[in-house]
Amino acid sequence: MINIVELILTCGSQEEAQKIADRLLAQKLVACVKFEGVKSQFRWKGKIESSDEIKLSMTTIADNFDKIEAEVAKLHSYETFVLQQTPITKLNQAAADWILSEIATSS
């Protein structure tokens, strides 16, 4: 069974976010990437930090997580980036068909 998921990743700049999105789309690892400017606040090395970031929401399949993580690691500027996966529990059939037609699947 192919599980469609949403991945979330924050990036330090629009340029970095665009580079990652372009690579993942070109390699057919994701079907869609949405960009959103966010203000993040977080603990880092014992201090509270804040940063303006770009949040990427990416639609793909669960089986692509490791490949996507490897590509992000090559391009991301953060010492520790956070790539998180959320399952999609319901999706209309037309959208599911489109997603599956646009990404490379090993199944």
3-state secondary structure 30-62: CCEEEEEEEEEEEEECCEEEEEEEEEEEEEEEH
Structural domain includes residue 48: yes
> Pick from 57, 40, 58, 61: which is nearest to 49 by CA?
40
Q: Which two tokens stand for residue 43?
A: 């603990």
- Domain of 27 in residue numbering reads as 4-102
Q: If you average pLDDT over every residue of the chain, what do you get?
A: 95
Report how far apart, in Å, the C-alpha atoms of 36 and of each of 1, 10, 83 are. 31, 9, 15
pLDDT of residue 2: 84
Q: What's the mean pLDDT in 36-63? A: 97
Structural domain includes residue 107: no
For the chain, what's the residue count? 107
What is the count of structural domains for the chain?
1
What digits encode the pLDDT tens for the residues 62-106? Answer: 999 999 999 999 999 999 999 999 999 999 999 999 999 999 765
